[in-house]
Every structure is written in C-alpha cells, then in structure tokens.
A and B are shown apart, each in its own frame.
Chain A
Amino acid sequence: MAKVTLIPTQTPTLFLEAENITPDVFAGKNAQEIAALHAFVGKTTVTLGDYFTVEGEGGQAAADTTIVINGDVSRVKYIGMKMTAGEVVVNGNADMYVGSWMAGGKITVNGDIDAFAGLGMTGGELIVNGNAGNYLGAAYRGDWRGMQGGEIRVSGNAGSDVGTFMRGGTIIVGGDIDVHVGTHMEGGTIIVKGDAKSRVGGQMVKGTIYVYGDIDVMMPGFQYRNDVDLEVDGEEGHFALYEGDMGERHPKRKGEVIYGQLYMKY
C-alpha cells in the first residue's frame, strides 16, 4: 500500500476547496504531480503544493493508496469527496464535506469535522474520532437522495439535521445529537448512543432510528407499539418501539403498511 503524507504549511486566508485530495486522484501520481493538483481559494485557483508539503507517492490504483494528513485542516473542504477506494487518515480537524458522495474506501478523522460530511454517501466507511457537524449523511440541498449506503461512525457528538432524506447505510453517533434526526428518512439506520433533542424522525417514511438516551420532545406523529429486546451494534438492549411518522404516506409491502421505526432504550 503506497502512502502519501500531506503536511499543512499554512492556513488558508479563506477556505481551501480541495476536492482533489482523494486516493482516486492521487493514484498513479508522484509527490510532484500531487503538489501540482489544483484547489480553490475563493475565486482563485491554487495548487495543493501551495498549502501542503507532499511526501511519498500514490499507488497504482485508488485501492492501494493511503493519504495521511498530518496537521490541522479545519479550513480545508471536500477531503475524500467522491472517493471510491483506498484510505484517508486525517490527524487533526477537518472542514465541511469530508467524504461527501463517497462510494467506497475508508476515511478516518482523528479530530472534529464540520457540516455536510458523508453527504449523499453511497458506500465506504467514515470514522470520526471527535465530533461531527450538521447535515451528517444528509442530502445535498434540494436533493431527495441522502446517504444511501456505507457506514458513518462518530465517537463524539453530532450536530443537527443528521441523516436528512437518508435512504440506506448506517450512522452511529457515540454522543449526543442536536435537533432534526432522520427528517424525511426513507431507509437506513441511525443509532444515537447519547441524548437527542426534539423532532427525531419527522416526516420519516421508512428506516430505523435507535436512541439510547433521552429525547427532549417526542414527535406527535409517533405511536408506541411494544417493547422488544434487540442486539444493536453488538450490544443487547431492551427497547420501546414507536412507529411513525403517521402524518406521512406509507408504502405497503405484502399487504402490510411500512412505518419508520424509532426505538428508545430503557
């Protein structure tokens, strides 16, 4: 596995939009070629070499390329955007759109990330060993296709609007979560191990949400069904099952109406 190490040399005055930092683009390129790749600051075009020292070289294909970013990139957007294979490790904080539209491979961020991470993601793994921002695994503005596959695992807390229009895949948040979880959800799983605020599963049609802690205010569109014992993310638990959102349309499968499912842990 070939390794490329990026070390930030300066903090951008605005923000660095660096959609080229992916194993797919780095594959087959040496340090010099990688440093010459373009990025944007505002309306100006810059190169990755202007902001990073590049060491090592990409592998033959994305799958055998690892990118390690050693340093704080909290002003760098789009890391791992659209990546299909390989690995990215960020040893620091990252800005918005980490792993957006990601289809495969693995991203590990040993720090916090900002909003829109895993946007419209269809596959792969995104691991955040810090906190995540708003719109994690959600849909792009206006789109109805949020996260469709893969897994996002956040150790800390996450912001609001997580999993909006989610259609598949799994989001696991170790800590607490802000308002609007799984709005318009049509599939997939969200596990919140801490507390959630209000509007969990609003306008949810299908899919599953687990909340281990408390929900501040329950949506009126959810109805209690029964208690169940389940194994979730490798742990046994006793849960109360609610179904909803009753205000929405709900498709039928084999004559049975399908609802979104909200499990609350006792």
Chain B
Amino acid sequence: MTEYLIKNGFVYDPIQGINGDKVDVAIKDGKMVDAGDVTKPTIIDATGMTVMAAGVDVHAHVAGPKVNVGRNFRPEDKLFNAAAGSGLKRMEGGFSVPTVLRTAYLYARMGFGFSMEAAMPPLYARHTHEEIRDTPIIDQGALPVFGNNWFVLEYLKENEIENTAAYIAWLLNQTKGFGVKCVNPGGTESWGWGMNCETVDDVVPYFDVTPRQIVSGLIAANEYLGLPHCMHVHGNSLGEPGNYEITLDTLKIAEDYSPQNDFGREVVLHNTHLQFHCYGGESYASKSFESKSKEVVEYINSVDNISYDLGVVTLDETTTMTADGPFEHHLSHMNNLKWANTDVELETGSGIVPFIYNPKTFIAGAQWAVGLECGLFIKDPMRAYITTDAPNAGPLCRYPRVYKWLMSAKARDDMLDNTLKYGDKIRERCYIGEIDREISLYELAMMTRAGPAKTLGLGHMFGSLKAGLEGDVAVYPYNPETDTDDPEKIEYAFGNAAYLIKGGRMIVKEGEIVDMGNKRTFWVDAKVNENPMVERDIAEKFRRYYTVTQNNYTVEGHHFVPNPYVIEVDATR
C-alpha cells in the first residue's frame, strides 16, 4: 500500500502532546507509523497548514428511518441545494437532511473519518444499516435506543442488571449496534399514555419504573458488559426552561459508578447535546429564561466520569428529529409546521419537525449562547465534544462555523452586536458576555478527535497520530501563525480540508474528493453467559407483541453490513 509523508505542517495531537510543532507525519499500510519507517513515501507538503488526526463525530443523525422521513417530507430542503456529480462524485443534495452521499462528502471536506449515528430504533436497524452502507468514505457505527424499551423497563423495575445486560448484548448482536443510547428515559413510553417524565422520579405508567432507575440500570449494565462506549443519554425535559435541575439529577446518578472496560474509556455517562439541557427560568421570554450552563458544566468539572457534547444552535433553518416523541409534539405546536411521528412498537418512538432558529428572536440567540458556553466553561476539553446534534440544533455543514465561534471572541461579539437582534438581552440572561476564552487548535483537536475517540472506546484506533493507530489524517489550509486575524479563515479552512487520508488512502487531494475509501461499519459483539430467562422473554415478546418475526428482525449478511469491523467484548465472568 502507498506510503505517505506529510511534511512541514503545524501538527496538533493532544495524545502525544504535540502542540503546533512542525513534525513529520507518516502513514504506511493504512496505519500511522514513525517518520523513519517509510521508505518511498508520497510526500504531501503541508507548509503553512494545520495537521490533525481525522475528526471523530460522537453524535449525529445521519442514517436511519427518521433521517429518511426528514428527507421525504422536506423536498424544499433540496431546492436550490443540490450539486451535479463530477469525477467520482455522484449527485448530492440537501441542506439540513442531506443525501447519504452529501453526508459522506461533507464529512470528508471537514476532515472527518468516523461518525456515530446517535439513535437507531432496533426494529429499523436494517434500514439504518442500508443507509450506512450507502454512505461512502467515513466509518460509522450506530447506537440502538434502550431508554423506553419494554424489556429494559421490565428488567430495571426489578433492578435485574444481569438480565438487562444479556438483553443489550443480544440486541447489539441482532442490530449490529455499537452501544447503549437512552432518549428521554421513560418519557417516550409514557407518551403512549399521553404523559411524559418531567423529573427523574416520575413513574412510567404500567411499567412502574422511573427515569432514575432506567439511567442507573443502563449505566450498570453498560459497565457489566464492559462496552467500549459509555451509556449515552439524552435526558428528560429536553429544551424546557428550568430543566437544568433535571439534568443535574441525571448526571449525579453517575456518581455511583466507575468505568469498567478494556478500551481506555474513563467516563460512564455521556450527556449528549448538553445545550438543550442547561436552561433556567420558567419560559422562553427574556424576562424569565436564563442560562444555567455554568452550573451544569461546573458540576461536570467537579467529577471525572462524565463527558458531553455541545449541541450548538447554529441559527439556521433545520429539521429536528429525535426519539423524544413528546418533545417533537410540543415543538410542532410551537411553530405549527409539519410534524411526523412514529411509535416503534415495543422499543421507542420518534418525531420530526422543521425548525427555524431565527436570530431575530431572543430564545434562538440565547440557545446559541448556551451551546457555546457549554464548550467554553469546560476545564478538561477531553470531555466536551463539538457537535450541533446534527441536524437538530443545526446542519452538519455548520461544524466549522461553530469552531469559529468557539475559537474567536471577536466572532462571538460580532454575532451579539450585529446579527442577533437581542444581543444585549442575551448578554444579560446568559454567561456569554463574561467569557473571553478562545479555544486553541490544541483544544479543538481534543474536542473533535482525541476526546470523542476516547469516550467511544476507539482511542486505540482514532483521534491521534501515534504510531499504530489508523492512518486517518486531515490537513487544513489554516496557518496558525498568520491566519489568526480573521475568524472567517477558521470557518473556511475546517470546511475545506486540503487533504484527508483515511485508512491509508487519499480521499481528499488538494481540496477535491478523489477516492470513495473503504468504508467500515463498527459494531460490538458482547459475549455473555447463557441466559434462558432472557431468551424465553425475547421469544415470548416476538410471538405475542412484535409485528415481525425474529427472522425478519436480525441484521445479518453481506447485504446489510458489507464491510463490518467487529469489536469483541467478553462479559462471561
């Protein structure tokens, strides 16, 4: 296989402590190697450019049924937003819910190599994998949702951790899933009864179990299995003013647990899109709403076993989609636009609503501020990852814009002074005005590659340029010595990688996509002791309640997962 040597670039690799030094980066046989180990490399001259490991996205909605429904019911999202194919590239389209091809091309242009699809309804795992299969270039995994699953609710009501773990192991295997996602624990199921869970101690009707028991039990089961990724939670009362207390209650559940795994992961709970969970006050009005990001992030700073991602609102027109069915119903009544909704049998639910974060409103601006605060208050950037919860808080293509805001106080002030109508009110009700921190390139590398790779349990493959890791390297046209005057250069550079090498193959060359790569689907095969009770429960539920048989449920074979990468975990002890 081709050897590459990237010379003269400013290299940022927090895992090796390289902070902008001009060191040579070498790739051989698809892996990172020491510069001395390549013999006849293709030389890439990165003079005046920034070199990092390829990006790792911990949380995005880029494949599966709700993404596809989003595409179907928003034809206007593709209007004036399509590009004809050229060279190897086929036609691409869509802004907030791009086609699978545009998703791949976007990630490649942003220098990303791995993306985690953050919510896979198990019953629709086949569809999710079909879309993942059709997304070239980037490696992907998918997190099945467990927070409202009947098996989980029933086992955790009795605190049966071993049975929950056995069920999780079975489901990961059936759906080719990567880890444990939990959305509005108990709340989505409660909504089947027209209710919701608004505190961690609200009881789910019929199942008689609380969000606290669900979160706690899923963490315990996750650690029992020793999965690479920790429990990945989207808490209760997303987007509700005053919800920061519920967020803190949820986070504190993690105090009882410590990580048990062979993957170098140090956290037990990942709170996704934290921005939506840091609200104070009683309404969205500027006289009541206030940011509580400081309170929440200060708590996270005080412990060491929690990570999160930001979910920054990018002030665009986008398409919200989540397994949090009750939230989407609520949202559709706020903006009176289209609403799609599904109840996924015994497992979960979901909803989809288009949404415009209008910079002329107070609340959209305040949400923008809260998201950035979540990124700026963190003491350890290895535990805070940059996302937009794409496409919920903003489209995927806006990541570079978020970097700009995080890295430049000038860019933030410009927004507050010139773009947001209620900039002064937002300064008053949020913390944004009192923060002058600017995220450095070194910290950016932590928050977009080293950190998420570690929390996903993939630190042995991604997130660094250390010898032995996957040969995934991004080169950006950004000169940290001369380009610091203009924040727009940050946004441009991180959206237009000059080079991306993925698994040792050159995907982006001088800004052009030249290779569709060798895309892999990551899933976790967890071995557990035989569990006749869980096996019987599964057979029973399929016979009595599911509309499909087990044979039509399993994701198997080359058709669904043509190029799998299986991570094995052994919990037989």
Question: Measured between alpha carbons, how far is A142 from B79 in the docked complex, in Å?
Answer: 10
Taking a contact as CB atoms under 8 Å apart, the answer to whether B336 and A140 are in contact is: no
CB–CB B76/A143 < 8 A = yes
Contact B79 A140, beta carbon cutoff 8 Å: yes
Interface size on B, residues (CB 8 A): 10
Is the Cβ of B76 less than 8 Å from the Cβ of A142? yes
Q: At the interface, is chain A mostly helix, strand, loop or mixed? A: loop
A144 within 8 A of B: yes
Per the 8 Å Cβ criterion, residues 123-151 of A in contact with B are 140-144
Partner of A144, one of B77, B79, B337: B337
Complexed CA–CA distance, A4 and B76 (Å): 33
* Per-residue contact bits, chain B 299-340, to A (CB 8 Å; 1 contact, 0 not): 000000000000000000000000000000000000011100
Count contacts between A and B, CB distance < 8 Å: 17
Please name all residues of chain B whose beta carbon is closer than 8 Å to the beta carbon of A140 when the two chains form the complex. 75-76, 79
A-B contact pairs, 17 of them (CB 8 A): A140-B75, A140-B76, A140-B79, A141-B75, A141-B76, A142-B73, A142-B74, A142-B75, A142-B76, A142-B77, A142-B338, A143-B76, A143-B79, A144-B337, A144-B338, A144-B354, A249-B336
Q: Which residues of A contact B336 (CB under 8 A)?
A: 249
Which residues of chain B are within 8 angstroms of A143 by Cβ–Cβ distance? 76, 79
- Interface core residue of B336, B337, B338, B354 (most chain A CB under 10 Å): B336
Q: Contacts of A144 on B, CB cut-off 8 Å? A: 337-338, 354
* Extra contacts besides A141-B76, A143-B76 (15): CB < 8 Å: A140-B75, A140-B76, A140-B79, A141-B75, A142-B73, A142-B74, A142-B75, A142-B76, A142-B77, A142-B338, A143-B79, A144-B337, A144-B338, A144-B354, A249-B336
Q: Give per-residue flags for B52-90: 1 if the beta carbon is below 8 A from chain A beta carbons, else 0.
A: 000000000000000000000111110100000000000
Q: How far is the CA of A201 from the CA of B74 in the complex (A)?
A: 24
> Shortest Cβ distance from A84 into chain B, in angstroms?
15
A77 to chain B, nearest CB (A): 15
CA distance A144 to B77 in the complex (A): 12
**Separation in Å of the B336 CB from the closest CB of chain A?**
7
- Against B, the Cβ 8 Å flags (1 = close, 0 = not) of A232-266 are 00000000000000000100000000000000000
In the bound assembly, the distance between CA atoms of A141 and B75 in angstroms comes to 6
Q: Say how far A266's CB is from chain B's closest CB, in angstroms.
A: 35
Q: Across chains A and B, which 3 residue pairs bring their CB atoms closest together, nearest first?
A: A143-B76, A142-B75, A142-B76
B77 proximity list for chain A (CB < 8 A): 142
Task: Report the minimal beta-carbon distance from B273 to chain A, rounded to whole angstroms.
Answer: 26
A1 CB, nearest partner CB in chain B, Å:
29
User: When chains A and B are docked, how far (Å) is the Cα of A185 from the Cα of B338?
Assistant: 15
Q: How far is the CA of A140 from the CA of B74 in the complex (A)?
A: 10
Q: Which of A141, A142, A143, A249 has the most CB of B within 10 A?
A: A142
